[in-house]
Chain A
């Protein structure tokens, strides 16, 4: 894995083929600026309410990223990702109460344990595709919800489950020492999210990414290309579950108290809807999905609009995306903006539009 990556990198340096084009430079610059803005400016600009919201956005963009790997890269529709997130949060909470390990280590462990669980959930994917896989994962998610409702999340109690039913004194789930305050924890979650994006990006650009692209297009062709489709499908589930588990760990510290009622099964469906709307084929789509899922309800709440409207909005959004933009908003909005820009430039250059038929001619 590392070997492939480094040899590719070495090859790129020597070749005129893979010169870092201006596009790549611009893209890297934009990402760096956005990261700096999120880390330095956002916590200054926003109220505590929105800082908490943005922490949730950071958590859920990683969850959407994981689902995007499954849906967008490999073509496996999973309706169980919210349950996987709950597993990650559960494991992290249990470890945070039981041990004094540093937070990053807990996140890593939560990721690895969730990876094992999520890969098990992915086992049916070896036999099933499409609707049937979606149904199976949805049922597994439902089962996990039921289990969580009876076991509850750890809240500082004893035993394996770590649940204390008396609820006289419930300690908060701890945060890392360097990120105790809300703005600091927001920065922390952004850094973790960025690392997860980097991990997924490294996968997509190398051997597994190519194998996934082949599997998504045609499994026979992938097999004929020497790709062990079983291995790479499980690998996709493992990667998606790992990042989702880490996100669960970040979520545990963000909210301080976890309740099983916060992880309803239908969240997995909403998650798929926003991932499709954001764009399952692009990493930016994951961020758009998280903004839709977390920032939009917070805004509506602030404006005094019922968040129930979102269900309708997401329904319409998915329809819109499926009919006009299969690659989601992350693909559609920049394209439409570029189109608008061209149109405006042409109008400005021409002075004023004389014949609308001609000015609209090149824009398709």
Chain B
């Protein structure tokens, strides 16, 4: 459960998020919108990289914005990046273990948890292999494994399927769909691939120019006229 109220982010003269308010209850929720709508900025606020000019974010009853950025991982925020960010120098195991040792479960049954996360994403690679040697799809799965290890509360996936071939996207969508039941975390998926969003998310919110323009069950939202207009432009412009 995450409640965002009047969230505003400005970069100089540009208003990236303009009084955005929305609520995500549970499960996997989609967040879509045209380029520049403010989706990644929203993730950056949740990660603590961007300080909003106004607004509040309450996640599971806590004021998320008051937590220092690097402590949010321990609190339970996980994210993947638009450009995949597994650590090339380290092995698959160390990549996931690194998140675990800075999570709430630090010091616990690390080994089992890490291998559990790797097998949860169905990564078909030697855990001792360096990430540098893996293919793009496998590296994405490593990143997702990093996002689900150590009992997260909030998993943010920023275009996880970008650049993947269809069958790998299909596998990834299977994995994303199971994240909430596997970890209990609220999962937010940002993607431009509408079939992925439809397949994974029961509810979806749509941003345009930093404002929420629609939210609700995914199928309804995708039929919404305002959403179609936001993506394709207005009739006059066409």
Q: How many A-B residue pairs have CB under 8 A?
A: 70
A3, B107: Cβ atoms closer than 8 Å? yes
Give the chain B neighbours of A210 by CB distance below 8 A.
Answer: 87, 90, 94, 97-98, 101
Q: Does A100 contact B (CB under 8 A)?
A: no
Cβ of A227: which chain B residues have Cβ within 8 Å of it? 70, 73, 98, 102
Q: Are A226 and B70 in contact (CB under 8 A)?
A: yes
Closest to A4 in B: B101
A217 and B79 contacting across the interface, CB-CB below 8 Å: no
Docked-complex contact A226 and B102, CB < 8 angstroms: yes
The distance from the CB of B221 to the nearest CB of chain A, in whole angstroms, is: 28
Q: Is the CB of B103 within 8 A of A226?
A: yes
> Does A11 lie within 8 Å of B111, measured CB to CB?
yes
Given A17-B93, A210-B97, A214-B98: A226 in contact with B146 (beta carbons within 8 A): no
Whether A7 pairs with B110 at a CB distance below 8 angstroms is: yes
Measured CB to CB, the closest approach of chain B to A18, in angstroms, equals 7
Q: Determine whether B85 belongs to the interface, using a CB cutoff of 8 Å to chain A.
A: yes
- Inside 8 A of A223's CB, which chain B residues have their CB? 47-49, 69-70
Contact (Cβ within 8 A) B111 A224: no
In this assembly, does B89 line the interface, its C-beta being within 8 Å of a C-beta of chain A? yes
Quick check: A221 and B127 within 8 Å, CB to CB?
A: no
Binary flags per residue of B154-174, CB closer than 8 Å to A gives 1, else 0? 000000000000000000000
B124 at the interface (CB under 8 A from A): no
- Of A210, A213, A229, which is in contact with the most chain B CB atoms at under 10 Å from its CB? A210
Shortest Cβ gap from B140 to chain A (Å): 14
Q: B88 and A17: CB pair below 8 A?
A: no
Q: How many A residues touch the partner, as a band?
A: 20 to 34
The secondary structure that dominates the A interface is helix
- Say whether A228 contacts B70, CB under 8 Å: yes
Known: A3-B107, A210-B98. A224 touches B90 (CB 8 A): no
Residues from chain B with Cβ under 8 Å of A3 in the complex: 107
Q: Which of A4, A17, A213, A214 has the most CB of B within 10 A?
A: A214
A226 contacts B111, CB within 8 Å?
Answer: no
Which residues of B lie under 8 Å from residue A216 when comparing CB positions?
Answer: 89
| Nearest-neighbor residue (CB-CB) of A12 within chain B | B111
**Complex contacts, B128 vs chain A, CB 8 Å:** 17-18
The reply to whether A226 and B93 contact each other, CB–CB distance below 8 Å, is no
**Contact between A217 and B89 (Cβ–Cβ < 8 Å)?**
yes
Supposing A213-B89, A217-B89 touch, asked if A225 and B146 sit within 8 A by C-beta, the answer is: yes
Within the assembled complex, what's the spacing in Å between the Cα atoms of A137 and B99?
32
Contact present for A229 and B70 (CB under 8 Å):
yes
The answer to the question of A207 belonging to the interface, with a C-beta cut-off of 8 Å to chain B, is yes
One digit per residue, 1 when the CB lies within 8 angstroms of any chain B CB and 0 when it does not, for chain A 1-12 equals 001100100010
Q: Report 17 cross-chain contacts, Cβ distance below 8 Å, ordered by A residue.
A: A7-B107, A7-B110, A17-B93, A17-B115, A17-B127, A207-B98, A211-B98, A213-B90, A218-B85, A220-B49, A223-B47, A223-B69, A224-B47, A224-B81, A225-B73, A225-B99, A227-B73
**Which 9 pairs, one residue from A and one from B, show the smallest C-beta to C-beta distance?**
A226-B73, A226-B102, A221-B85, A210-B98, A11-B111, A213-B89, A228-B70, A223-B70, A213-B87
Please list the residues of chain B having a beta carbon within 8 angstroms of any beta carbon in chain A.
47-49, 69-74, 77-79, 81, 85, 87-90, 93-94, 97-99, 101-103, 107, 110-111, 115, 127-128, 146
